[in-house]
Chain A
Amino acid sequence: MEKGNEIIIKAGKSALHYWREVWRQRELFWILGKRDVMVRYKQTVLGVAWGVIRPLLTALVMVFAFGKIAKLEQGSTIPYMLVVIPGVIIWLFFSQCLSQISNSIVGNGNLVSKVYFPRIIIPFSSLLVGLLDALIAFAMFFVFCIYYQFLPNWHIIFAPIFLFLAYLGAFGAGLFASVLNVKYRDVAQIIPFIVQFGYFISPVAYSSERVKDEWWYPIYNLNPVAGTIDGLRWCLLGDYSQFNWQSFFPMLVFVMVSVLISIWFFRKNENSFVDHI
């Protein structure tokens, strides 16, 4: 920190150069994220292999339950596995970020009550764990592409954008929840519940083509995960999936509004976290 830099501590006033301070502490973002990644597979025999096992098993169960038993695969022109994997990638990434972020402040209570740094670094840094898993799941997708001899087209360059949008969606909702969680631990009860039933109200294991003509489809699209999954399918499945503007716009609006409101809400409350934690 350069000299002559005066800090004023006052009620209801966050630091003047908040974002500059966040930027200055970017190393902390990195190291907290790295901590979560390193800790994750400590003292496990299979280690990072779990990163493959989880999406793989999820996808297999989905293909079995929805493709085989519910017979949704019949109308599909490409192997159903390839339809399911983008859904699984987004869903696992979204749900993981959501639970990590919403628990981030309480989970790092020991830091919050003992050291100062811009608190928003904590939820930011929760991204890395999920991101690593998502990258592994992408690799898995390409293995299946080789297996099925399927070649994605140029749309694939947009995949990171949809992953990022999924992150922002989780960030917007999770950040809000993380603030509430400090005072009301009910949030910690709700989040796992959302993660559990969210599968069924998002087009994870089925294509949104199937529900497009229902009257409730616009309501269905309020779920930001629907838009990102549709988007990622468009990226990965090339000509076999249409770009779905109907789900894209609600998702974009949700992401922008929720992120802005959450950040405002977070900044407003962050200085009193320690009094409630």
Chain B
Amino acid sequence: MKAISIENISKKYILSHKKKKYQNLKESVSGFFEELFTNKDEEETKEVFWALRNVSFDIEQGDRIGIVGANGAGKSTLLKILSRITEPTHGEVKVNGRMASLLEVGTGFHPELTGRENIFLNGAILGMRQNEIRSQFDEIVDFAGIEKFLDTPVKRYSSGMYVRLGFAIAAHLEPEILIVDEVLAVGDSEFQKKCLGKMKDVSSSGRTILFVSHNVTAVQGLCNKAAFLQKGKLVKYGEVGDVLHDYMASISKFQLQQHWDTPEVAPGNDQVRIKNIEVVPDFVNGGKNIDVRTPLKVNFEFWNMHASAHLNLSMFLYNMTGECVFNVGSQAKTFSNGLVKGVLEIPGNFLNDGSYYISVMIVKDTADPIFFMEEAISFDVADYREGTNWYGKWPGAVRPINIPIQTWKVDGLL
């Protein structure tokens, strides 16, 4: 059964650009009267902006849909239309079932009211009945962990308490269709964990979820389908892995290869010239983009201009914050002039997810760096995990799964 069917939805906004004509109060007053008498039109230009354009797709009951896209792709507009906050310019949406949308945590909280009063207020705003709230009251308070501050006005709450209380109320909604916007962007990692855990519970109970997030890992873990929006258009809709692959390919700015055909145009100096540097992923698991499991090969070729040079290669892997993850060097060898090739193999299940870049140094006589090619190539490593319910950012510069932790039972007594 279809839970939601979206047919040809478009949403138009009109942006008016008013030229600022007056710089100060005096000018604007005199300008106002001038206009009044001369009937001069304001210099105003209007621009039509389509936040969504002809978006159509169907959502089956029990589907968990992740909506991904860059900022301004129309994700929030789509959610606003689905949750009936704004209406589409064209098109039609059919919704079957009780729907609740959570576009913000703690909507309608009044700062002067106490936590207790706000639970009832917020619950009612989200569409819960008073007796429903009453029966879940203790659970909500417990989930938020604010027993002590129940009768304190929320304006005195810390921002963390405020967000926890807001989410706790929303988490106890029991709709058939749940629409969630980037609520995970707020709060500490502890809170994010709690949110995702709760969403997982909701999804396993067979309810339909629509979920907007920039956290690709969370989308991958929670959703079975995804929709990829770009500039208001639906680029792809379908199985979550396929859609995320397209999405990731569209946002990453990585450069997997740099290549020069002749030594004349290539970077370098009179001793060495760079021909080629590339990273080649080895997709063993039938994947399409580089994730933490993928083994990588870095190929490096350069022209050696000297008749005889004692050279070695040194490769640096940096993460996006500029920290060096590792630096490895090759054995120094003596080369006659001509093309030299080096290969670095980075095993799978070693790097953490994130963006990386590689710099290469060519060293003469094991001590004298003759050429340093900085930020030669860059690539993204996507996250992948299984057998866990946690989708927060995995910490660490590397994620070496091959370093095992073992556990065993030592004693039967407590």
A11 x B90 contact (CB < 8 A): yes
Contact with A along B249-267 (1 / 0, CB 8 A): 0000000000000000000
Contact with A along B279-321 (1 / 0, CB 8 A): 0000000000000000000000000000000000000000000
A residues within 8 A CB of B153?
A: 42
B117 contacts partner chain A, Cβ-Cβ < 8 Å: yes
B97 x A31 contact (CB < 8 A): no
C-alpha spacing A10/B126, complex, angstroms: 22
Q: Known: A35-B121, A38-B113, A115-B101. Contact between A8 and B130, CB under 8 A?
A: no
B80 x A274 contact (CB < 8 A): yes
List chain A positions with a Cβ less than 8 A from chain B: 1, 3-13, 15, 25, 27-28, 31-32, 35, 38-39, 42-43, 108, 110-117, 271-272, 274-275
CB distance from A151 to the nearest CB of B (A): 42
Q: Known: A9-B92, A110-B108. Contact between A115 and B87, CB under 8 A?
A: no
A residues within 8 A CB of B86?
A: 271-272, 274-275
C-alpha spacing A187/B244, complex, angstroms: 48
B125 x A115 contact (CB < 8 A): yes
B residues within 8 A CB of A13?
A: 87
A35 x B85 contact (CB < 8 A): no
A272 x B87 contact (CB < 8 A): yes
Residue of A nearest to B89 (CB): A11
Q: List 30 A-B contacts (CB under 8 A).
A: A1-B98, A3-B97, A6-B94, A8-B94, A9-B84, A11-B87, A11-B89, A12-B87, A15-B84, A25-B127, A27-B124, A32-B124, A35-B110, A35-B117, A38-B112, A38-B117, A39-B110, A111-B125, A114-B103, A114-B104, A115-B101, A115-B107, A115-B108, A116-B84, A117-B125, A272-B86, A272-B87, A274-B80, A275-B13, A275-B86
C-alpha spacing A208/B98, complex, angstroms: 54
Contact with A along B116-145 (1 / 0, CB 8 A): 010011001111011000000000000000
Q: Known: A6-B94, A38-B117, A114-B104. Contact between A31 and B124, CB under 8 A?
A: yes
Residues 73-91 of B at the A interface (beta carbon under 8 Å) = 80-91
Residue of B nearest to A8 (CB): B94
CB distance from A169 to the nearest CB of B (A): 28
B residues within 8 A CB of A114?
A: 85, 103-104, 107-108
Q: Known: A9-B81, A117-B127, A275-B13. Contact between A39 and B91, CB under 8 A?
A: no
B88 x A9 contact (CB < 8 A): yes
C-alpha spacing A12/B92, complex, angstroms: 11
Partner pick for B129 among A27, A112, A274, CB 8 A cutoff: A27
B residues within 8 A CB of A12?
A: 87
B residues within 8 A CB of A39?
A: 110, 112-113
A6 x B113 contact (CB < 8 A): no
C-alpha spacing A27/B113, complex, angstroms: 18
Q: Report the interface size class on chain B.
A: 35 or more
B93 contacts partner chain A, Cβ-Cβ < 8 Å: yes
B residues within 8 A CB of A271?
A: 84, 86-87
Taking chain A's interface residues, is the majority helix, strand, or loop, or is none over half, making it mixed? mixed
A residues within 8 A CB of B85?
A: 112-116, 274
A7 x B94 contact (CB < 8 A): yes
Residue of A nearest to B83 (CB): A116
CB distance from A256 to the nearest CB of B (A): 29
Residue of B nearest to A113 (CB): B85
- Beyond known contacts A8-B93, A42-B112, A117-B127: 16 more, CB 8 A cutoff: A1-B97, A8-B94, A9-B84, A9-B93, A32-B124, A39-B113, A43-B112, A110-B107, A111-B125, A112-B85, A115-B83, A115-B107, A116-B84, A116-B101, A272-B86, A274-B85
B residues within 8 A CB of A4?
A: 96
**Residue among B88, B90, B110, B125 facing the most chain A CB atoms (10 A cut-off):** B125
Residue of B nearest to A12 (CB): B87
C-alpha spacing A15/B127, complex, angstroms: 16
A10 x B87 contact (CB < 8 A): yes
B376 contacts partner chain A, Cβ-Cβ < 8 Å: no
CB distance from B401 to the nearest CB of A (A): 42
Residue of A nearest to B82 (CB): A9
Residue of B nearest to A270 (CB): B87
A35 x B94 contact (CB < 8 A): no
Residues 312-367 of B at the A interface (beta carbon under 8 Å) = none
C-alpha spacing A113/B125, complex, angstroms: 12
B163 contacts partner chain A, Cβ-Cβ < 8 Å: no
B residues within 8 A CB of A8?
A: 92-95
